[in-house]
Amino acid sequence: MRKSAESRGRWSAKVTEHSDALDVRQGIFRSHDPKRIAASLKRSAEHSHRRKASPFQSAMSMLNFYVNRGGKNLPATQKQTLEKAKDELRKQFGRTAR
């Protein structure tokens, strides 16, 4: 049985509200500064008491979730900024880039 388009479209909002996700500063993903986005995610991940993974994994997962959730509706310039934020997040956590 297939779900209706309306019920399929709301799954990400439910995940965001009810998961043990990080408490991310409102509007951070709309920033045009990859360093600011990465720093905010890092700070949230390091201070979270609800995360189950390492701070790096939690921060990167949240960033990937937002990019994937935006899908085709995410403007190309913002997607580029978020992809740069991934590289910046790796730097800030002392991880090597891909």
Its pTM surpasses 0.95: no
Number of domains in the chain: 1
Q: Does some domain include residue 4?
A: no
Distances (CA, A) of 19 to 13, 33, 50, 62, 71: 10, 27, 9, 11, 20
pLDDT at site 25: 81
Tell me which residue range forms the domain holding 49. 27-92
pLDDT at site 49: 83
Q: Does some domain include residue 13?
A: no
- pLDDT higher than 60, residue 8: no
Burial class (CB in 10 A: 0-12, 13-18, 19+), 31: middle
Q: Does some domain include residue 33?
A: yes
> How far is it, in rounded angstroms, from Cα 27 to Cα 87?
20
Q: Does some domain include residue 12?
A: no
- pLDDT higher than 70, residue 77: yes
Q: Does some domain include residue 11?
A: no
Asked if 15 and 21 touch (Cβ cutoff 8 Å), the reply is: yes
% of the chain exceeding 70 in pLDDT = 77
Q: Does some domain include residue 72?
A: yes
Q: Kindly indicate the confidence band of residue 96, based on its pLDDT and cuts at 50, 70 and 90.
A: confident
pLDDT at site 12: 57
